Structure 1
Amino acid sequence: MTDSAAGAPTVFPAVLHRDARAAIRLLTQAFGFREEAVYEGAGGTVLHAELSYGSGRVMLGSEGRGGVFDAAMEDAGPAAVYVVVEDTDAHCARAGAAGAEILMPPTDRDHGSRDYMARDGEGNVWSFGTYRPGAPS
């Protein structure tokens, strides 16, 4: 690892969507992600997109675009992603106001985190909370 990469994430969730454009809209408008890159194929198919939140990123694309990853994910079902946020209650309020389906309201957890859970339009579960995996206690 080079010095410039020190502290940079090395794990990136990747999710395929039937409607990747709708997923990008929900993730940016409801959950506060920032669109970093979107690469399109013929007909506007999202081949690859990267959205950031804090120092993390999620990669996503359209189902049915072909290739090994698309074939491997064909029967994978929904995914779950956890994202660290500073203010769980404010983040949940924003998500709900933007139309996200809230599965669990902000809740204090036994491990010291305050979390909430939402589902996107294609069944993927997004958890947001104050717990930072790997952070010194």
Structure 2
Amino acid sequence: MTGAARGRPSICPTLLYADAKAAITQLTEAFGFTETSVYESEDGTVLHAELSHGNGVVMLGSKGREGVFAEKMKDAGPSGIYVVVDDVDAHHQRAAEHGVEILTPPTDQDYGSRDYLARDREGNVWSFGTYAPEAAV
């Protein structure tokens, strides 16, 4: 049985940040994510964090740690992540009010979605829109 069958997402983007604490603040305050867990080392390094939005989760941590995943991700470039939201305009306004770099304003797309693009403090591109893809079951 997959995680999705138990009410858990089966795909979770994972990002590493130079300043994971600042990323958590930006993602929760500007983009409306909910902090579900944060594990830190004694020196305050974010070892692992989970932030939820709707029924999705993004996992993140601090760059510069040891381990296979951290080693393979150390030179990874920015990522692109899409998040479904109900009210694109309100979401965009919240992000803009928190000083997020807006790449495109809310725009109606030919395929029926309304969306906008933003860049987080470390270069990841976030798309927020009304289009909700369906997974095969």
- Please tell me the TM-score bracket, short chain as reference: over 0.9
Match of 1:92 in 2: 92
Offset, 1:17: 0.1
AA in 1 matched with 2:43: G
From the superposition, tell whether residues 62 and 112 of structure 1 become closer, same or farther in structure 2 (CA, over 3 Å): same
After TM superposition, the score normalised by the length of structure 2 is: 0.93
Give 5+ residue unaligned stretches, structure 1: none
* SS at 2:32 equivalent: coil
1:12 maps to 2:12: yes
Match of 1:44 in 2: 44
Offset, 1:42: 3.0
* SS at 1:107 equivalent: strand
Question: Stretches of 4+ moved more than 6 A in 1?
Answer: none
Percent identity of paired positions between Structure 1 and Structure 2 = 64
Conserved 8 A contact 2:3-2:9: no
From the superposition, tell whether residues 135 and 112 of structure 1 become closer, same or farther in structure 2 (CA, over 3 Å): farther
**Equivalents in 2 of 1:3, 1:71: separation in Å?**
27
From the superposition, tell whether residues 88 and 44 of structure 1 become closer, same or farther in structure 2 (CA, over 3 Å): same
After TM superposition, the score normalised by the length of structure 1 is: 0.93
Aligned length: 136
From the superposition, tell whether residues 4 and 133 of structure 1 become closer, same or farther in structure 2 (CA, over 3 Å): closer
Conserved 8 A contact 2:8-2:55: yes
Offset, 1:7: 4.9
From the superposition, tell whether residues 18 and 111 of structure 1 become closer, same or farther in structure 2 (CA, over 3 Å): same
Give 5+ residue unaligned stretches, structure 2: none
Match of 1:59 in 2: 59
